[in-house]
Structure 1
Amino acid sequence: MYLRSNPSLKSSLMAKQRKPSFLCVLVLVLVIVSENVFANAAEIEYISAVGDPGMKRDGLRLAIEAWNQCNEVGEEVPHMGSPRAADCFDIYEASPQANEKNCSHCKYFPHVLVHRVTEEDNKLGSGEPFSGLQSHALYNVDLYAAEKELYLGSKCEVMDDTNPWQFWMIMLKSGNMDTYAAKCPKNGHKIEPFGPDKNFPCFGKGCMNQPLIHHDYTTLLGPNRTTLRGRFYGSWEWDADFSKGLVGNNSYYSVSWEKEIGKGSWVFHHFLRTSTKYPWLMLYFRSDATHGLSGGYHYLTRGMSKIIPESPNFKVSFVMVTVTSDVTRYSEMIINPNTSAWCHADNLNVCPPYHTFPNGTRVHRSDTAYFPYAAYHLYCSPGNGKNLEVPYSLCDPYSNPQPQEILQILPHPVWGGYGYPTKQGEGWIGDSRTWELDVGGLSQSLYFYQDPGTPPARRQWMSVDLGTEIFKDPDQTAEWTVSNFEHPYT
């Protein structure tokens, strides 16, 4: 898996050079602006930073969102509403009617499932008012989606002894970009139409469309009606016909979830497929901040993280099965064993200026004897950096509403002290395991640019994400399962 700090975004250099591949990532979304540690409960008592520690709560809180390349909506899918939806419900034990001594139906229907978000809520689209909607957002599809997320959050919100929380978030994103439409700002500034640009896939007008979002609401199944199961699924091809299965060259995604009442953890099964028209797709499972900004987005969000972790003192625990790995202001660890280091002594423009070892020793990238070049796939600098160290490579200026900085690392012994993969193949297909990662320690040691003469910035991580990116490679599939996600603090 990967650890990242923002949704999967890649640099312009990567778009030019990178061999098509797919990544699976644990993402951290960084806001440059608590001290948490993972410990054995027998040794130190802790409170979870997430609302549903270990994903064990029967009454699921789950939402889904979709974005275009520059983290906006752009346009809604006809008859699908704004690309935000939720599956939030509570479970109650069946009880006898007021005039019954014994419960005649309890044997056959022992539990009652009550959904908090209706189909009408989920299908809301721009132009349709709802409680709390700001008037200026009613006909603006981008603002409407952000407001709709807050509305769904209010319906899903769970109060507890510390802070209220709302839901886990599934995030979808397409890397298609229509440069002639000029919908995406460059390093945060509006631009004029340009092109063509081979760095970004686009089949023509409409290539930045949102996906279909179909929803099988969670229901009770099984002989004893104790199995909970639901699903979100769809495609970026609006004419895709799923009745015949995955036939033809169509994109596809699916996130299904299942749990036995009163037992174990929710298991989330993810599937993602690219197509000729949509070769660059992303699918993440996120724990976002319950208030404020998160995920690299410029809108208020809702989520699962009640406590915002700050580097260096926090860890993350979860189970990943049959997946890849990626650490990411974006920092990412790419665990696809087919991915090699671009950072070399003779290619310093894609190396971070410094590497810091766990003992605090810092070495410059020009130190060929001690700098761990093989630990880095790529580093790219923010487009608004005023004093970047030469040589440098700039990040893709269009993938975010603001400039971005990306650091991609590879399995290497220098990361072993933080619990990360140390050699190629670890965390990849065939190596399912439970990971306990010192995310805070690692993220604190990584290099991120700051202007000279400014004090060191605090690193607060507003999103922790697990997921996959298939980068400009049509007809590829990725499939993985996540459960038991936990983020404790003392």
Structure 2
Amino acid sequence: MDKPNPWQFWMIMLKSGNMDTLAAICPENGKKAKPFPQTGRFPCFGKGCMNMPSMHHEQTRFVDKQGHHMSGSFYGTWDLDNDRKDPVGNNSYYKVKWEKKIGGNESWVFHHLLKTSSKYPWLMLYLRADASRGFSGGYHYDTRGMMKMTLKSPDFKVRFKLEILKGGGSGSQFYLMDMGSCWKNDGRYCDGDVTTDVTRYSEMIINPESTPVCNPNRIGACPPYHAFPNGTKIHRTETEKFPYEAYHYYCVPGNARFAEKPYDVCDPYSNPQPQEIMQILPHPVWEQFGYPTKKGQGWIGDPRTWELDVGKLSQSLHFYQDPGTKPVERHWSSIDLGTEIYMSQNQIAEWTVTDFDIVIPNAGI
């Protein structure tokens, strides 16, 4: 307990992209639940492809007799027939280890490792600071996180030290920062109705091998507008001015009735409700927010301490809203970083996060 509000735990999100579309029960883009048609869009080797991974927990303990060093971890694999402690051979693997020196000003160090396999080529691992109440990054269940409030744009910054040891290959969408929230297309806050709630994500990908989908020949994968600091908005059809290289991919929620054509619809499978995703890339237009401005910054061999003006950035990005409705106050219930290795076999990503903190000016807490 704490005043004015309690806080809970650091959150680790561990996900697999394997999807048996015949077994899906969530509504498709706000429509009534129905079996999805089988599709090659998602990896699934057959019955059982959506199994949970093994989980081996090493409880937090003192690792020295003097009580100066604490450590704990958990690890496991989705390939249950090859449940080993080390990421060897063609088996998936994950491990998160946390440690801290006692008595000084050092923070917890979170060491992450994620490995894909032929059966499980699409895996995700994130360290999250979630709100202690409310929906967890858009999912329709209560969260239990470290933040004593939901963050409101534009009034917050995020600080952390990130060292990437292994990148995870070209399909590793390593998120320097990922924001998650939920609001309806008419601006109302989410209430658990998965037919009208919409998960919203904004993600900065720093893997220099990432190939952007947004370009002048595929403007449907770009947001309709880019907003500059002086308030000027550039439409995506203005090919001489629009910063296409700053965007990796944008897709609208599947229940957006008035989305500007052409557009891509986000996949309806990854969340209980429709989702909207804004993915950006290092580019000079993000410099004012403290984000990387060119490829390779903060990547392997370049550990950095970042102070990102995530609040101001999140206020300036385009998100869909029904015409004529009051602009939503953008609140964010989840702030996280980590990687999503997309459809890539036998890839390894490894990184550490230290001094993860969220700064809210004049919050009084």
Q: TM-score range by the shorter chain?
A: 0.7 to 0.9
Measured against aligned partners, the alpha-carbon deviations of 1:120-144 in whole angstroms (never above 9, x if no partner) come to: xxxxxxxxxxxxxxxxxxxxxxxxx
Equivalent residue, structure 2, for 1:206: 48
Alpha-carbon distance in 2 for matches of 1:272, 1:217: 20
1:216 to 44, 55, 58: 58
- Deviation for aligned residue 1:188: 3.8
The one-letter code matched in structure 2 to 1:434 is T
Unaligned 5+ runs, structure 2: 166-173, 179-199
Equivalent residue, structure 2, for 1:356: 227
Equivalent pair of 2:266/2:277 in contact (CA under 8 Å): yes
1:173 to 3, 6, 15: 15
Alpha-carbon distance in 2 for matches of 1:371, 1:194: 37
Equivalent pair of 1:327/1:408 in contact (CA under 8 Å): no
Q: Indicate whether 1:233 and 2:104 are aligned.
A: no
**What is the root-mean-square deviation of aligned Cα atoms in Å?**
1.5
Please identify which structure carries the higher helix content: 1
Equivalent residue, structure 2, for 1:389: 260
- Deviation for aligned residue 1:357: 0.7
Deviates more, 1:217-226 or 1:278-287: 217-226
Measured against aligned partners, the alpha-carbon deviations of 1:271-306 in whole angstroms (never above 9, x if no partner) come to: 000111111111111111111212221011211000
Alpha carbons of structure 1 residues 382 and 194: separation in structure 2 relative to 1, 3 Å: closer
The one-letter code matched in structure 2 to 1:259 is K
Equivalent residue, structure 2, for 1:296: 138
1:412 to 275, 283, 295: 283
Percent identity over paired residues = 62
SS in structure 2 of the partner of residue 322 of structure 1: strand
2:153 to 301, 308, 311: 311
Equivalent residue, structure 1, for 2:243: 372
Equivalent pair of 2:177/2:335 in contact (CA under 8 Å): no
The one-letter code matched in structure 2 to 1:364 is H
Equivalent residue, structure 1, for 2:108: 266
Measured against aligned partners, the alpha-carbon deviations of 1:172-216 in whole angstroms (never above 9, x if no partner) come to: 111111012233431244443344311100011111111111100
The one-letter code matched in structure 1 to 2:8 is Q
Equivalent residue, structure 1, for 2:193: none
SS in structure 2 of the partner of residue 473 of structure 1: coil
Equivalent residue, structure 2, for 1:450: 321
Larger relative contact order (CA 8 Å, sep ≥ 6): 1
Equivalent residue, structure 2, for 1:400: 271
Alpha-carbon distance in 1 for matches of 2:99, 2:143: 26
Q: Indicate whether 1:279 and 2:121 are aligned.
A: yes
Deviates more, 1:194-203 or 1:283-292: 194-203
Alpha-carbon distance in 2 for matches of 1:353, 1:290: 34
Equivalent residue, structure 2, for 1:346: 217
Equivalent residue, structure 1, for 2:352: 481
Equivalent residue, structure 2, for 1:254: 95
The one-letter code matched in structure 2 to 1:482 is V
TM-score (norm 1): 0.66
Q: Indicate whether 1:164 and 2:9 are aligned.
A: no
Equivalent residue, structure 2, for 1:21: none
Q: Look at both structures and tell me which one has the larger radius of gyration over its CA atoms.
A: 1
Measured against aligned partners, the alpha-carbon deviations of 1:339-393 in whole angstroms (never above 9, x if no partner) come to: 1332222211111000001121111111122111111111111100111111111
Deviates more, 1:182-191 or 1:271-280: 182-191
- Deviation for aligned residue 1:239: 2.2
SS in structure 2 of the partner of residue 218 of structure 1: strand
Equivalent pair of 2:58/2:74 in contact (CA under 8 Å): yes
Equivalent pair of 1:218/1:228 in contact (CA under 8 Å): yes
Measured against aligned partners, the alpha-carbon deviations of 1:56-78 in whole angstroms (never above 9, x if no partner) come to: xxxxxxxxxxxxxxxxxxxxxxx
Measured against aligned partners, the alpha-carbon deviations of 1:409-434 in whole angstroms (never above 9, x if no partner) come to: 11000000000000000121111010
- Deviation for aligned residue 1:326: 4.2
Measured against aligned partners, the alpha-carbon deviations of 1:93-132 in whole angstroms (never above 9, x if no partner) come to: xxxxxxxxxxxxxxxxxxxxxxxxxxxxxxxxxxxxxxxx
Equivalent residue, structure 2, for 1:467: 338
Equivalent residue, structure 2, for 1:77: none
The one-letter code matched in structure 1 to 2:120 is Y
1:242 to 70, 78, 84: 84
- Deviation for aligned residue 1:488: 2.0
Measured against aligned partners, the alpha-carbon deviations of 1:16-64 in whole angstroms (never above 9, x if no partner) come to: xxxxxxxxxxxxxxxxxxxxxxxxxxxxxxxxxxxxxxxxxxxxxxxxx
- Deviation for aligned residue 1:454: 0.6
Equivalent pair of 2:30/2:255 in contact (CA under 8 Å): no
The one-letter code matched in structure 2 to 1:340 is T
SS in structure 1 of the partner of residue 107 of structure 2: strand
The one-letter code matched in structure 2 to 1:272 is L
Alpha-carbon distance in 2 for matches of 1:332, 1:223: 42
SS in structure 1 of the partner of residue 288 of structure 2: helix
Equivalent pair of 1:395/1:406 in contact (CA under 8 Å): yes
SS in structure 2 of the partner of residue 299 of structure 1: strand
1:77-88 aligned within 5 A = none
Equivalent residue, structure 2, for 1:43: none
Alpha carbons of structure 1 residues 326 and 197: separation in structure 2 relative to 1, 3 Å: farther
Unaligned 5+ runs, structure 1: 1-158
Equivalent pair of 2:164/2:301 in contact (CA under 8 Å): yes
SS in structure 1 of the partner of residue 312 of structure 2: helix
Equivalent pair of 2:177/2:337 in contact (CA under 8 Å): no
Equivalent residue, structure 1, for 2:170: none
The one-letter code matched in structure 2 to 1:380 is C
Equivalent pair of 1:188/1:401 in contact (CA under 8 Å): no
1:438 to 305, 309, 318: 309
